[in-house]
Amino acid sequence: MLYREAGQFKTSYGADQAIFPILQDKLGMLVILALAVVVVPLLASTYMLNSILIPFLVFSMAAIGLNLLTGYCGQLSLGTGGFMACGAFFAYKLTTAFPELHIILVFLLSGLGTAMVGILFGIPSLRIKGFYLAVATLAAQFFLVWMFNKFDWWTNYSASGVISAPPREVLPGIFVTGTESEPVTKYYFLLGFVAVLALIAKNLVRSRIGRAWMAIRDMDIAAEIIGIRPLWTKLSAFAISSFYIGIAGALWAFVYTGSVEALAFEINRSFQVLFMIIIGGLGSILGSFLGAAFIVLLPILLNAGMLALDPTISSALVSHIEFMIFGALIVFFLIVEPHGLARLWALAKEKLRLWPFPY
Amino acid sequence: MRSKFMALAVAGITAAATAGTALAADEQYVPMLVYKSGAYAPNGIPIAHGWEDYLKMINARDGGVNGVQMTWAECDTAYNNDRGVECYERLKQPTAAGVQPLSTGITYALIERATADEIPIFSSGYGRTSAAYGPVFPYVFSAPLTYWSGADVMVQYIADQEGGSLEGKKIALVYHDSAYGKEPIATLERLAEEEGFTLHLLPVAHPGLEQKATWLQIGRQIRPDWTLMWGWGVMNSTAIKEAAAVGYPMDRFIGIWWSGSEPDVLPAGAQANGYKSLGFHAPGSNYKALQDVLEHVYGGDEGAAKLRGWGDVLYNRGIFSMAMQVEAIRTAQGIHGEKTLTGAQVRDGWETLDLNDAKLSSLGFEGFTKPVQITCEDHEGGGQAFVQQWDGNAWNIISDWYMPRRDALREAYKADALAYAAEKGITPRDCS
Amino acid sequence: MGALPVRTIGIWMLAVPIAILAIGLAFKGMAAANPQFFFTWPYFIEVLIAGLLQGVMYSLVALGFVLIFKASGIFNFAQGSMVLFAALTIVGFIEMGTHWTIAFFITAGIMVLLAISVERIVLRPLVNQPHIILFMATIGIFFFLDGFAQTIWGSDVKVLDIGIPKTPITVMENANPSDPNDPWQYGILINQYDLIAAAIGAVLVAVLAVFFQYTRTGRALRAVADDHQAALSVGIPLKTIWAIVWSVAGIVALVAGIVWGGKAGVQFSLALIALKALPVLILGGFTSIPGAIVGGLIIGAGEQLAEVFLGPLFGGAIQDWFAYMLALFVLLFRPQGLFGERIIERV
């Protein structure tokens, strides 16, 4: 009833190719943005901001990055943690070496640096495919984390190998990193950053390069025959994906935790992001957000829920049961909808178009 | 969709928050970051039990601290840094007396947050070593010893065993390749230069199940006179087994205090006999505080208490570190004259905490540990350590108490802390 | 796992000693050029043997992956937690006072039950889904089993003593007593536990080989591995076969759990040894049982040699990534692993 595109006619190619061709989608998006900008900071407690919204936004960025590579280009990667570490340590070295460099520039540059690393580790993808590639990307994961852990040049010779974000301001007087930064400013900063980059990603996958990725994903030999260069296409996917993941790593270290050691980016981080895109939906930008929300919230909700039901329950049992439910829910979701939450949303929209009439 | 999730989250979290921490008038709340799951759970569980039992005992025996009942809430970090941060954010309250992160990595992640929130961090025998320098780290306390002090004590002990001189000796350090394991390296390198021994560094990757190559190097190639270890969790027992597998003499193998507890040696069986480690508090249950726990928490049921680790090294560590925290609260109550204190008020208690011999024995810790006195400048408190040895059944103290040579150490703390302050743009407090 | 051609075996028998000799000489050269390195032939051989034995232990875990991948094309990440679950279960029964042989059979029964329920609950509804979805489902199982095993048996470190002596043995000691600096003075040290564990692994592989080669079920398994559709059309019950494969993988996990648990103690970290089996898998090829064995030997020996002789160059702890880099390097030349089936692609 409410969600119907009847009567909305497209009069130009531009209108037909809009990201949100339907008025309701546009409005919905604006409402969500308005909620995110106005309502959420008003309602959210510091805990919500610090432990849910900020990591959610950071993970969304990482999930978009991995989704570009795995969801759109079909190259399964388990090296996300390693690339996030790259972003974090590049940003640290840059901002401590050039303190006057603007923090946004630092993040973008560290993303670029990670893209270079991504290309390097993407080269084997030209020969290796499927699970062989997935395991091969673990080489990147283990090597990169080891490198940042081992060579104390990366941490400016800190005795323990921990880096902590120096205070940096995004506008004069408004700090987004370091102790003086308010959670709300961090939230707005991240929201803006992620929104812009997500928009770019959305447009990227609708462009020529995105179509080339999808052709490679669906069948690389066929794609090669119709004139798509696998070398260029695969490496560009690795580069752009790593760019996003690198920025996510830098944001993780600088804006979310404020201090990290290389071990924070170990293999579990890679799996976590992979979960996000699979639960959220492979090949969907919206899915990256949904998956990130799901994976960030689920453990916290399970944990808090169990404590709310029975405050005396032992925290060990809570953790173990949380593991079990987490695993079971993942299996459950995969069985119910292997294409992820984004697909569920699409189905819901289909239903909405007809609602409340059966046809 | 997104906002729906958030609404759900709000509901869940507020429910949890109100359920866990409803504050009555005379209560003091202690958030507890524990790990009872994950790879390091066997070591985390007894410490958490020690904390909990000590608070229960204080509530039952004394009716709380000066009549203020202690309350607490637990959150399981799984020894994972970002889970630790989430737990901290979940449990923190303006009236939180202080938090013990129980992990060097989590301590690092919390230092800035807790400082901003004015909640004291108590990292007893772990954490950021240079945080012992109070002027730069007003909210971090690392009594009674830091890792650098531990390294110094180890070298002193070895020098004593070797007849005074370490000239030309070889010492190997096997360490967990993380923030925790890297802490002692700088101090050991300095001492190697001063005392003329050569230091060999052998990192072990997390979680430490793979040490064959490490021990082949130690046992068959380097053949060091002494081997030191900074290990945690499964790494400790694996190291002991692999050391035995290459025939390395156990009595020349010394672990830090986190590598010297029952879960570390029991899995290795008889191979672990003779293995040594540092300690800053006595093992065993023959102390009045522990007997009080037995009486007031377990009603004298020794079997039940032992199941929870009562009298084990790590359980006793939990007891001792919680006792220090409780005494800081008690001291702060004296300063501020209020019942329920904020974190900032408890911090004032920490900075004037004086656990001298008389005080320790009145708390039931006579002979259990050495005096600790914390000041504005010195957040380490001048604790001492000894060497203990595993005989197959129990840990036995086999050396005198050693006082770390703190003059040089304090200089190093200060230098490192000031470098941190410069990087962060912090102006150190004036402590004079 | 068809019989290997004689020529291939011949090439390997020639190439392997030459390769080992070449690596040894390279290390010797490095030691001669830079006194920071340490090299003697007995030490080299000792590290090599230790690595090979370690490699067999990796193979034991990798074997479970191969079995499942071969029969169903599923990359079963839960193999690691199956190892942990099996080890915890058998220790739990032994601690209850059951004799270890009985505990073994009870646990084997439980692993079969587990395998059947995984097939029923998880795999059957996911038939025909892309591989990555099945892979994620096994990660879900991984989490579930981890939590489940700890909920039941707790997180303490448990001791599993199966009576294998752990004292090291030294061979060829003091071959030349007249020379005090003779590199052979300390002999070659071999870990008895690893030796026996490797023997257990060898027996297990032999049993599996016979099972696959000569039994009716084994032939059906190979048929399924070759072509699901063709196997179905000649009347092989695919679902039964899958349950059998998962059961066999469960029992392999049990053996691996006993061997690893006896070595390292039974606790949570056991699940992480799955990560050590992955480079073995890609090196040997996902579909080949001999590949898992040879891959294990190469990875085990390679990473130990690298850690001991090259590690000091980079500050140590390189063995984790070295194993993966070694596997990656091989993949660049053989994208399907050493023994994997050649990937034929059609448009």
pLDDT at C151: 87
Q: What is the mean pLDDT of residues B7-17?
A: 43
Indicate the residue of B9, B109, B203 with minimum beta-carbon distance to A52: B9
Name chain B contacts of A146, Cβ cutoff 8 Å: 205
pLDDT for the residue C274: 83
- Option in B201, B247, B266 nearest C168 (CB): B247
Q: Which of residues 247-276 of A touch B (CB under 8 A)?
A: 256-261, 263-264, 266
Mean pLDDT of B234-239: 91
Calculate the CA dihedral of residues A351, A353, A356, A358 and round it to 10 degrees: -70
pLDDT, tens only, C55-74: 998 998 899 888 888 887 78
Residue contact C38–B244, C-beta within 8 A: no
Nearest to C137 by CA among A81, A281, A279: A279
The continuous run of DSSP H or E covering B373 comes out as strand B372-373
pLDDT band at B17 (very low <50, low <70, confident <90, very high): very low
For residue A82, the model assigns a pLDDT of: 96
- Closest to B81 in 3D by CA, of C272, A64, A65, A163: A163
Query: What one-letter code names the amino acid at B408?
Result: A
Average of per-residue pLDDT across A171-179: 84
Interface of B with C in 212-241 (CB under 8 A): 212-214, 216-217, 219-221, 233-234, 237-238, 241
Tell me the per-residue pLDDT of A227-273, one tens digit each, with 9 for 90 and over: 999 999 999 999 999 999 999 999 999 999 888 888 889 888 998 99
B312 touches chain A (CB under 8 A): no
Is beta strand C168-171 parallel, antiparallel or unpaired with respect to A259-261? unpaired
Whether B148 has a pLDDT exceeding 90, the answer reads yes
Q: Which residues of A touch B418 (CB under 8 A)?
A: none
pLDDT of residue C88: 92
Tell whether B112 lies on the interface with A, counting CB pairs under 8 A.
Answer: yes
Average model confidence (pLDDT) for chain A?
89
Sign for the CA dihedral angle at B235, B236, B240, B241 comes to negative
CB contact under 8 A, B39 and C263: no
First-residue to last-residue Cα distance in chain A: 12
Identity at A163, one-letter amino acid code? I
pLDDT of residue A3: 72
Q: CB burial class (10 A; 0-12, 13-18, 19+) of residue B161? A: middle
Confidence at residue A143, expressed as pLDDT on a 0 to 100 scale: 94
State whether residue A261 is helix, strand or coil.
Answer: strand
Which residues on adjacent β-strands are paired with residue B175?
A: B203, B230
Average pLDDT value over all residues in chain C: 85
List of chain C residues whose C-beta atoms are within 8 Å of the C-beta of residue B246: 168, 189
Instruction: Classify each residue of C264-300 as buried b or exposed e, where b means 16 or more C-beta atoms within 10 Å of its C-beta.
Output: bbbbbbbbbbbbbbbbbbbbbbbbbbbbbbbbbbbbb
- pLDDT > 90? residue C136: no
DSSP string spanning B96-119? B--B---SHHHHHHHHHHHHHHT-
Nearest to B220 among C46, C54, C166 (CB): C46
**Do C189 and B219 lie within an 8 Å CB cutoff?**
yes
- Give mean pLDDT, residues C132-157: 86
pLDDT for residue B2: 41
Tell me which residue in A32, A261, A304 faces B178 most closely, judged by beta carbons.
A261
C279 touches chain A (CB under 8 A): yes
Is residue B164 exposed (0-12), middle (13-18) or buried (19+ Cβ within 10 Å)? exposed
Cβ-based burial of B69 (10 A; exposed 0-12, middle 13-18, buried ≥19): middle
* Rg of the Cα atoms in chain A: 21
Q: Are A258 and B109 contacting, i.e. CB atoms less than 8 angstroms apart?
A: yes
- Residue in A148, A145, A143 with CA at minimum distance from that of residue A124: A143
**CB B183 to CB A46 under 8 A?**
no
Give the pLDDT confidence of B286-308 residue by residue, as tens digits.
999 999 999 999 999 999 999 89
Class of domain A48-157+166-354 as given by CATH: mainly alpha
Tell whether the torsion through CA atoms of B266, B271, B275 and B277 is positive or negative.
negative
CB distance B327 to B363 below 8 Å: yes
- Domain B147-279 is classified in which CATH homologous superfamily? Response regulator (3.40.50.2300)
Residue B197 has a pLDDT of 94
DSSP string, A135-200: HHHHHHHHHHHHHHHH-TTTTTT-TTSEEEPPP-EEETTEESSSTT--HHHHHHHHHHHHHHHHHH
Count CA within 13 A, CB hemisphere, residue A298: 22
The CB-side HSE value for C99 (13 A sphere, CA atoms) comes to 2
Chain C CB contacts of A67 below 8 Å? none
Q: Domain boundaries in chain B?
A: 22-145+284-383+405-424, 147-279
Residue C180: per-residue pLDDT = 59
Identity at B389, one-letter amino acid code: Q
**pLDDT of C2:** 47
What whole-number distance in Å separates Cα of residue B101 and Cα of residue B276?
26
Neighbour-count burial for A266-280, b at 16+ CB within 10 Å, e otherwise: bbebbbbbbbbbbbb
Quick check: C177 contacting A, CB < 8 Å? no
- CA B175 – CA C315 distance, rounded (Å): 12
CA distance C164 to C248: 24
Q: Is the pLDDT of residue B371 over 50?
A: yes
Strand runs labelled E in C95-244: 168-171, 188-191
Give the amino acid at A260.
Answer: V
**The CATH number of domain B22-145+284-383+405-424 is 3.40.50.300:** no
Amino acid identity of residue C101, one-letter, is: T
- Cβ-Cβ pairs closer than 8 A, A with B, add up to 163
pLDDT by residue (tens digit) across A297-341?
988 888 888 888 877 777 788 888 888 988 998 898 888 888 889
The stretch C125-141 carries a mean pLDDT of: 84
pLDDT grade for C176, boundaries at 50, 70 and 90: low
The secondary element (H helix, E strand) that includes residue C20 is helix C6-33
Whether residue B11 is predicted with pLDDT greater than 80 in this model: the reply is no
Q: What is the pLDDT of residue B38?
A: 79
Residue B66 DSSP class: T
* pLDDT reported for residue B329: 94
Q: Is C216 exposed, middle or buried (0-12, 13-18, 19+ CB in 10 A)?
A: exposed
Q: C193-208 burial string, b = 16+ CB within 10 Å, else e?
A: bbbbbbebbeebbeeb
Cis, bond preceding B144 (omega within 30 deg of 0): yes
Q: pLDDT band at A359, cuts 50/70/90?
A: low
Distance between C221 CA and the closest CA of chain B, angstroms: 34
pLDDT at residue number A90 = 96
Task: Classify strands B140-141 and B121-122 as parallel, antiparallel or unpaired.
Answer: parallel
